[in-house]
Copies of this chain bind each other. A is one copy, B any other.
Amino acid sequence: MSPPSLPEGERVGPRAAATERVYRLEELARLLQAQLAGPGELEIRGVGGVDDVREGEITLAASGKYLGKAEESPAAAVILARGLNSRKPALISDNPKAAFGIALGLFEDREQPPEGVHPTAVVAKSATLGQGVAVGPYCVIGEDVVLEGKVAVHAHCVIGRRCRVGADTILFPRVTLYEGAVIGARCRIHSGAVIGADGFGYAAAQGRLLRIPQVGSVVIGDEVEIGANACIDRATTGATRVGNGTKIDNLVQVGHNVTIGRNCIICGQVGLAGSVTIGDGVTLAGQAGVADHLSIGEGATIGGGSGVMHDLPGGHAYSGLPAQPHRQHLRLLSALRRLPDLMDELRGRGGRNSNSG
C-alpha cells in the first residue's frame, strides 16, 4: 500500500530523536543545577525552543531577547538566565544554555545499534572488541583493530587494520577509518567522515607529479566531535593530531600533519592546509581557510570566510582576506564604504583616475 503524502505542516510528529520521559520541575532543578522558581511537582514532558516548544515542555530564555517569546509560548516552564523574571514556573541558571543542553540530554533518545556484532558485519579474527561494543550491519573491521568498551559502530562503517577506537565513542553510519587511525574515548564521528586518507603531497619530477607516499597516521583525542563528510588526512610521516574536546563541523578539511589543540571549534567547511598548527581553544568560523605551515595561537578567533595568510598570535579576534586583527578589518571596511565617493570626488577635482585593472 502507498500511504498518502502528508501536508508539509504535519510532517513533524513527536521530536524525531526524543523519548516520552517525564521529570518533575524539582528534579530538573537538581539535575540542571538551577534554582527552582515554581511548583516542584510540575511535570515536564520535553524540551523545546521558544519557536517550537509544546504544552508540558520546558523552554529557554537565555537573554531578555527571548523572554517575550517564551512567555507567549505554550511552554509549561522556562529556563531563565539569572536576573530575568517570568510569569511561568522557572529554573534560574547562571549558565542557561548549558542547563538547556543538560535538559535536552535527559530527553534525548538516539538510535544506536544493539550491543554485539550484527551477523552481516565482517570482523577480522585478530580484532579486539571491548565489553558492550555494538557493531551494526555491513560494517567491515580489519586486522588488529581495537574497539574499547561500549564503542558503537553504526551500519556501513569501514575500519582499516590496526585502528584503535576509545571507549564509548560513536561512529555514525558510513564512516571510514583508514588503517592505523587512533580515535579517543567518547568521540562522535558523523556519517561520511573520512579519517586517515592520504595527505596531498607530490614532488615534481621529469614533468610529472610524483606521489609522496603518506605513511603516517591520525591521532584524535577524547570527546572530539567530527562532522558529516569531514576529512582528516593521515600524516606523511608522524601524525595528524586533534586535541581533546575539539569540535569539528561538517565538510571540514584537515590536511596532513596538521595539529589542532584542545577544545577548539572548527565550523562548517573550514579548510586547514598541510602542517598547520592550531592552539587550544581556537574558534574558526564557517568557510575560513588557513594556508599551509601557519600557526594560530591559543584562544584566537577567526571570522567566517577569512583567509589566514600569516601566523596569528593567540588571544585575539581576526577577520578578512587576508585575515588581520578584527578591529583593523572593521576600520578597513568602513574606509571601503567611503572609497567610491572619494574616488568620484577626486575625479571631479580632476584627480587622476587611470585604471590599473
| A338:B321 contact, CB within 8 angstroms | no
In the bound complex, how far is the Cα of B82 from the Cα of A107, in angstroms? 61
The 5 tightest CB contacts between A and B, nearest first, are: A16-B180, A337-B357, A52-B238, A2-B149, A16-B217
Min C-beta distance of A322 to chain B, whole Å: 7
A 309-325 to B, binary, CB cutoff 8 A, 1 in contact else 0: 10000000000011010
Instruction: Give the contact-size bracket for chain A.
Output: 35 or more
Let me know if A212 is at the binding interface, CB within 8 A. Answer: yes
Let me know if A284 is at the binding interface, CB within 8 A. Answer: no
| B273:A268 contact, CB within 8 angstroms | yes
Contact of A1 among B130, B154, B255, B352 (CB under 8 A): B130
State the main secondary structure of chain A at its contact with B: loop
Let me know if A36 is at the binding interface, CB within 8 A. Answer: no
* Residues A251 and B251 in contact in the complex (CB < 8 Å), given A12-B219, A104-B215: yes
| A130:B8 contact, CB within 8 angstroms | no
A101 contacts across to B, CB distance below 8 A? 201-203, 210-213
Within 8 A of B (CB), among A38-59: 47-49, 51-53
A156 contacts across to B, CB distance below 8 A? 138, 140, 156, 158, 174
In the bound complex, how far is the Cα of B284 from the Cα of A273, in angstroms? 13
